[in-house]
């Protein structure tokens, strides 16, 4: 049996001949509830939509950890890049590049991972670690060669807004880094780049005012750590 807590509380105070008025009040109150529910659901849907897509990236949650995913195309071949946060504080991640539009081919995937234990703006401090900003590389990238071109993907420190890869012919290819939505804690920005018919030679990182903060020759893929 369903019990109305308002009716139970006020029944003792009501006169017998006032029951009709009380029932009318309850009916009018219940008619307003669906309107409130619709407003709440609409707000939740708007938040979910903002959380789902940012600048070509799809953000979400998988197995309790935040994820970022993007589809890349080069020379008619499609690839899926998946970024998985490996901790709730946003300081560690793993990046997987899968051939195709899914995650079926585990043997052919390219993997890189990174993290930082140092202070990062916007994330809570660890009391065991000095309040020191990351002092490692400003960015990191690794490549996957396809035919006569390359796919590049990687991460960057929070202040880096643009990555530029220069190929062996001196042509520059630019990529803006993406900041995960507010619902995703992250000490890093992510980026992807397609060189359709050449190979990279130099990589550079730029901050918001256009200032170059790091430029170096490209080295074979390696694990990045900002500590």
Do 78 and 23 fall into the same domain? no
Do 18 and 126 fall into the same domain? no
Around Cβ 177, how many Cβ atoms within 10 Å?
Answer: 23
pLDDT at 28: 55
Model pTM score: 0.70
Contact assessment for residue 67 and residue 84, using Cβ atoms and an 8 Å cutoff: yes
Task: Give the residues of the chain that fall short of pLDDT 50.
Answer: 1-20, 22, 25, 29, 32-51, 220-227
pLDDT at 31: 53
Q: Retrieve residue 89's tokens.
A: 């504080």
Do 37 and 71 fall into the same domain? no
Report yes or no on 222 lying in a domain: no
Do 47 and 110 fall into the same domain? no
pLDDT at 116: 85
Rounded CA gap, 73 and 175, in Å?
15
pLDDT at 9: 32
Interval 130-188: pLDDT, tens = 788 777 789 988 888 887 899 999 999 989 999 999 999 999 999 999 988 877 888 89
Residue 71, sorted as left (phi over 0), alpha (psi -120 to 50) or beta, turns out to be beta
pLDDT at 53: 56
Contact assessment for residue 55 and residue 176, using Cβ atoms and an 8 Å cutoff: yes
pLDDT at 19: 45
Do 14 and 74 fall into the same domain? no
Do 146 and 88 fall into the same domain? yes
Please give the residue range of the domain that contains residue 14: 5-51
Do 142 and 189 fall into the same domain? yes
Domain boundary among 51, 66, 89: 51
Report yes or no on 44 lying in a domain: yes
Report yes or no on 223 lying in a domain: no
Report yes or no on 33 lying in a domain: yes
């Amino acid at each position: 049996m369903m019990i109305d807590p308002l009716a139970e509380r006020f029944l003792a105070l009501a006169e017998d001949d006032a029951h009709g008025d009380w029932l009318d009040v309850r009916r009018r109150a219940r008619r307003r509830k669906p309107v409130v529910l619709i407003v709440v659901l609409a707000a939740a849907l708007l938040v979910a939509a903002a959380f789902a897509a940012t600048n070509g990236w799809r953000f979400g949650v998988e197995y309790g950890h935040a994820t970022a995913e993007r589809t890349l195309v080069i020379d008619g071949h499609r690839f899926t890049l998946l970024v998985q946060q490996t901790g709730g504080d946003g300081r560690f991640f793993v990046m997987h590049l899968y051939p195709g539009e899914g995650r079926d081919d585990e043997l052919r995937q390219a993997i890189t991972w990174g993290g930082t234990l140092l202070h990062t703006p916007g994330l809570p401090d660890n009391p065991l670690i000095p309040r020191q900003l990351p002092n490692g590389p400003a960015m990191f990238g690794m490549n996957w060669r396809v035919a006569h071109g390359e796919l590049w993907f990687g991460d960057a420190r929070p202040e880096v807004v643009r990555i530029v890869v220069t190929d062996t012919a001196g042509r520059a290819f630019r990529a803006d880094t993406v900041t995960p939505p507010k619902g995703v804690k992250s000490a890093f920005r992510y980026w992807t780049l397609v060189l359709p018919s050449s190979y990279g030679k130099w990589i550079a990182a730029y901050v918001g005012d256009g200032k170059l903060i790091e430029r170096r020759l490209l080295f074979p893929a390696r694990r990045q750590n900002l500590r």
